[in-house]
Amino acid sequence: MVRRPDLARLLERPGTLVAAGFVLLIAVYQLRLTPGNPPGLHRDEASIAYNAWTISQHARDQNGGFMPVYFVSLGDYKSPLFIYLLAGLFRITGPNQTAALELGAIVVFAAIVLLGVLAWRKTHNLAVAVGIVVLGGLTPWLYELGRTIWETVSFPLAVVGLLLTLDWAPTSKRGALVRALAVAFMLGAVFYAYAAGRLLAPLFAVCLLFFAGRGRWRWLTATWALFALALVPALTYAARHPAFTSARWNQTTFIKPGMSFFTIVHDTGWNYIRDVSLWHWVVSGDNKPYIHSGLAGQLFGSVVVLAALGLFQLVRTHGFNSWWRFALVAALLSPIPGALTDDRHHALRQILIPVWLLVFAIPGLDLFVSWVRRFWSARLAAAVLAAGTLGQFFWALHWYDLNGPRRVVFFEADVPALLQRAFAQSKDGKIYIDYDDHGAHAHAWWYAAWKHIALSRVVILPDGGIPPTGSMVFGRLQPCDYVCTKLETVDQDYWIARAVGPKPAG
């Protein structure tokens, strides 16, 4: 059994200062925002920001719901974890776009740091712990996620938190109920962090059977019971909002009415294989600009190599204890929600791939470090891996800096300036938006909150409503239901217009 070094003795080691320096550099890199990259907020991000602000002000969402379990937005139901974190920040800072992006970076960096803590608990090797933080911190997939405020931002943190809690629970001297409460809480965090968690959290709960054994059935039963209680708000919400269980499924799934069970299983399996193609993630990644600027890999080849080495080490040493068995099965389950959708290599839906690879890289890096200390050939291999990692890193950073700011249309970067002109040209100080133009609602509401414009100046027209003659109208895809003169159109067909009056009869 590895003896845990005393903290004071650890701080006295010469390498500790060097390790702290590496972690500090990663913190600066991860937490430093890149203004103009991404160049703006996608309408989903604008909706998340606005809902967080309304919650911070009067505990109600954009639709007036009091402390909702989920947030109705753009025809979807956004998971609450990150939105409530952001609401807490806005309570201090006010509606601030920079603060929102900083929170996204902090949450992703926290997940990376906890991976380092997990590595320390598993190996008690400072070099391994720092190495995992460095590899995670430089990984383009995680770095680019931290430059956004998608609800997905909190998902890696919730999963790593669950892994740490499961590592702590079996050896803790706390009572079974306390240990069960901690694990159930983290399962709940996974469930409420992102849509994929609604399927994965119950599956992870079933995987806790790997922890069952002598003296643990009481803990396991208590964990399941407490997790079931954590699901009550979601189940109650689903009963009150029937569309909740089908809205996102209908929007994203490849499964159509009439498909046979065999076809569904076959296509899901094929989708799974394509989504977890590590070669694809290493050399190119997602071709959509959600959290990737393209033309470079999102994943380091060195992380894949170390994860494979870690699996080899676990098999070689019969190291697959209950914790590692849980991690392996959970890792294999994680791509399933994405495989059920009709969009391949979706970086947000498969965001756990780099997390699991870093987890399994822990024993691999531990073995590799021991080799480096003993063999010159391993030192040469380490130099090759380091050179390859740095090469990939700078190549990805080059394309991020070059192509990232060009993602203007997807991130709807010109919309705030368009809204500024709309308010400036408005004769009554208001802008009018059609009742079902939800993308326009999100941007207008968030812009007004962000720029401290009275929300009464954003007027949502009723169905069939006609704005006053000469007023300014803002929209996206919806045409005017009255006579209007379009003045300007920008990203993804957002436009402003001047209302002329009702359409002539007949």
pTM: 0.93
pLDDT tens per residue, range 235-288: 999 999 988 888 888 888 888 888 899 999 999 999 999 999 999 999 999 988
Where do we find the tokens 């894949």?
304
pLDDT tens per residue, range 174-186: 888 999 999 999 9
For residues 405 and 36, the answer to whether their CB atoms sit within 8 Å is yes
* CA distance linking residue 149 with residue 78, whole number of Å: 12
Question: What percent of the chain stands above pLDDT 90?
Answer: 79
* Positions of E strands within 421-482: 431-433, 458-460, 472-475
Question: Worst-scoring range by mean pLDDT, 71-75, 133-137, 161-165, 306-310?
Answer: 71-75
* Positions of E strands within 428-482: 431-433, 458-460, 472-475
Task: Give me the phi and psi of 204, to 5 degrees please.
Answer: -65, -35
pLDDT tens per residue, range 346-380: 999 999 999 999 999 999 999 999 999 999 998 99
Give 483-486 contacts, CB < 8 A, sequence gap 24+: none
- Whether 8 shows a pLDDT value over 60: the answer reads no
- Amino acid 18: pLDDT: 83
Q: How much of the chain is in helix, strand and coil states, percent to nearest 5?
A: 65, 5, 30
- Whether 7 shows a pLDDT value over 60: the answer reads no
Amino acid at 433: I
- The domain ranges of the chain are 7-240+253-406, 415-501
Backbone CA torsion sign across 258, 260, 266, 268: positive
**Angle 81-93/43-58 helices, nearest 10 degrees?**
60
pLDDT tens per residue, range 100-126: 999 999 999 999 999 999 999 999 999
- Amino acid 290: pLDDT: 85
